[in-house]
Amino acid sequence: MPDAAATILFVGDIVGGCGRRTVLRSLPLLRERYEPTFVVVNGENAAGGLGISPRIADELYESGVDAITLGNHAYHRREIIPYLEDHPRLLRPVNYVHSQPGRGTCVIESAAGVRLGVINVSGNLFLKAAHPAFSEVDRALRELGDVEHVLVDMHAEATSEKVAMGWHLDGRVSVVVGTHTHVPTADARVLPGGTAYITDVGMTGARGGVIGVERSRAVENFLTQMPGRFEPASDDPWLMGIVVRCSQPRRADAIEQVLMEAP
């Protein structure tokens, strides 16, 4: 087995054009600062706030992103469906109906031969996913086999479900990150079994909006209780992510939160 040393950078939900510009501008800086072995991003809101398009996925890969995870907005853009089938490093939650387009796991390998398995899984509370997250993540782990590291993106609404997933996987994977709520939590830590964990990484996009949406429209919607069209916000762009350093297989030495104003 090759040396398992690896640094994993994970960036939370990229929201709209503002989020895309922020991540593309920040990556060179983050590469210099952290020298990540692997870069994984959640792209479920990358296209106008909902879903991802082939052009945007291509742009992220060209910028050096190794794998992209999604979530409940995975299929919002229909043009992504054939692309999902052809691009094994673009993941939708593994616990969807198995006939739904795409796949929920992939393995990426560094130049030094260190392998990172990535699993995207959806919570079952307040989100539509065909199969239970907890048993499906176990199945996905068995299928990944003996890769040196595993990152699980648990895309879920409820903090309790994400915390439980962290404990469920502690000692068996390198990192469990929560995504979907777009608000970073203050609980990043390495669990006793060696798994780096955070309940929510947060989002990459306009902090001056309401979880990425233009704030006056979002407030109006709450005031009037009438449906309205949401537009992604652009005010006060930030990148939110985490960096995990590992020296042993499936173990994290440290997790560091990255909360950074767009350069």
Catalytic residue numbers read: 73
Is 122 a binding residue for Fe ion by CB under 5 A? The answer is no
Is 75:3 a contact under the CB 8 Å cutoff? no
Candidate residues 4, 10, 13, 173; the one interacting with Fe ion per rule CB under 5 A: 13
**How many residues touch Fe ion (CB under 5 A)?**
6
Angle ∠(142,93,175) on CA atoms, nearest 5: 60
Residue 178 or 194 having the CB closest to Fe ion: 178
- Bridge partners of 152? 119, 176
- The least CB distance from residue 1 to Fe ion, in Å, is 35
Three-state DSSP at 216 gives helix
> If you search the block for the tokens 């959640």, which residue do you land on?
42
Is 176:141 a contact under the CB 8 Å cutoff? no
The phi-psi region of residue 145 (left if phi > 0; otherwise alpha if psi is between -120 and 50; otherwise beta) is left
Is 71 a binding residue for Fe ion by CB under 5 A? The answer is yes
- Among 67, 60, 61, smallest CA distance to 19 is for 60
Residue 141 or 240 having the CB closest to Fe ion: 240
Point out which span in 23-31, 42-50, 166-174, 247-255 binds Fe ion (CB under 5 A): 42-50
Is 16 a binding residue for Fe ion by CB under 5 A? The answer is no
Residue 109 or 230 having the CB closest to Fe ion: 230
Is 72 a binding residue for Fe ion by CB under 5 A? The answer is yes
| DSSP conformational letter for 253 | S
Residues 142-201 that bind Fe ion (CB under 5 A): 180
Residue 183 or 219 having the CB closest to Fe ion: 183
Residues that bind Fe ion (CB under 5 A): 13, 44-45, 71-72, 180
